[in-house]
Structure 1
Amino acid sequence: MGSGLRWSLEELATRAHLSQSSLSRIEVRQRMTEPPPENPARMRAHPGREWLVVLSGTAVLMLGHRRFRLETNQAAEFPTMMPHAIGAEGGPCEILGIFDRDARRGHQRDGYGDDAQGAPE
C-alpha cells in the first residue's frame, strides 16, 4: 500500500471494533471496472457496517443519493442499512472491503462475489 494508509491488522481490528481473528476472515478484495448505479432503487441495503480502502485507481461510493469519489489509499466506513453501491471511475479500480458479520451475511445472501464489476455493493 502507498504512504496514505498503513495499519497493522491489530490497528485495523481496533478501529473496526473487531477481534483480529474476526477481521482476518472477512476481507474481500474486488476489482471493479464499471461505474456504480446512481439510482438508489438499484442499490442494496442490509444490516451491518462496511469499511473499504481503495488499493488502486478511483472508486465511486454511492450512499443513497450522495456520491463519494475515493482515490488510491483513501478509505470509507458506512452503515450498510443505507442503500449503497461501489464502482470504478476513469478505468479499473481495486478495493479491499472489510465487513462485519451482518454485512458479510448480506453480501453472501445476495450472491455478490469477489469479482464484482460495478454491481451493487
Structure 2
Amino acid sequence: MVRQRIRGLRQARGWSLDSLAARCHLSPSTLSRIETGHRRIDLDQLVVLARALDTTIDQLVEPVDDADVIIRPMRHQEPGLATWVLSREPAQRGGNLVAKMRITPERRTGPGHLSVHPGREWFFVLSGSALLHLGARQIPVGAGNAAEFSTMIPHSIGALNGPVEILTIFDQDGERAHAQSSDPSAGV
C-alpha cells in the first residue's frame, strides 16, 4: 500500500519518476523498483520520499483496514435509556461526544430529575417524540426536528407517547458531566 501511495502522490502532482527522484536524491531506477515492489523501502528513503511528496510518514504507512474508520458502538443500558456512543474518545481530541439514544417512557424525567452542568447539548429526533424539560418549560420535539440548549439550565430529555430515538452531541463539558453520572435517574 505504501508503494501505491507513493506512486499515486507522484502521479497526482504530475511528476515523472525522474522528477521525484531528483527531489529526493534517489536514482530513477531505485524509485521505480520501490514503486513496483522490487526493492525494500528503507526508513531513510521513506523520510525523504514523504518530505518530497509534502506528506508525512504516518500518512504513507497508515493501515488500510477499516478499524480506523468504522466505529462499532456498544450498547449501554439503564432503565428507560439505551445509549450507543458513535464517536471516538472525543474528550482526548478536544472534540464532541456523539451518541444515539433510545428513551422509553420508563425513564424518569422532569422536576426532581433535572441536571445542570457547564456546556451545550444538541439533539435530533430520529423517530418518535421527545419531551425536553428545560427549566420550568416542557418542549415537545418531534421526529425530524432538533433542539440545542445551554446545559446550565436544569434539563432532562424524556419520551413522549412512546419510545423516542435521538442523535445527540455534547460538547466537552457536557460529555464529562454525562460520563460521570451513572445515576439512571439523572437527566440526559
Query: Quick check: TM above 0.5?
Result: yes
The match for 2:114 is: 43
Q: Please give the secondary structure, in 1, of the residue aligned with 2:161.
A: coil
* Identity over aligned pairs, percent: 43
Query: CA contact under 8 A between 2:114 and 2:155: conserved in structure 1?
Result: yes
Structure 2 counterparts to residues 76-91 of structure 1, below 5 A: 76-91=147-162
Larger Rg: 2
After TM superposition, which residue ranges in structure 1, 4 or more long, deviate above 6 angstroms? none
What's the CA shift for 1:119?
5.4
Q: How many residues are treated as equivalent by the alignment?
A: 94
In 2, distance between residues paired with 1:109 and 1:61? 21
What's the CA shift for 1:78?
0.3
Q: Describe the superposition over 1:4-24 as per-residue Cα deviations: whole angstroms up to 9, x where unpaired.
A: xxxxxxxxxxxxxxxxx824x
Whose relative contact order is higher, 1 or 2, with alpha carbons under 8 Å and at least 6 apart? 1
What's the CA shift for 1:120?
1.4
Structure 2 gaps of 5+ residues are 1-93
In 2, distance between residues paired with 1:62 and 1:36? 11
Aligned counterpart in structure 1 of residue 132 of structure 2, from 61, 78, 87: 61
Structure 1 gaps of 5+ residues are 1-20
Cα 1:119–1:56 shift into 2, 3 Å: farther
1:33 maps to 2:104: yes
Which has the larger strand fraction? 1
Q: Please give the secondary structure, in 1, of the residue aligned with 2:162.
A: coil
What's the CA shift for 1:75?
0.3
Query: CA contact under 8 A between 2:113 and 2:186: conserved in structure 1?
Result: no
Query: What is the TM-score with the length of structure 2 in the denominator?
Result: 0.46
The match for 2:187 is: 120
One-letter code aligned to 2:139: F
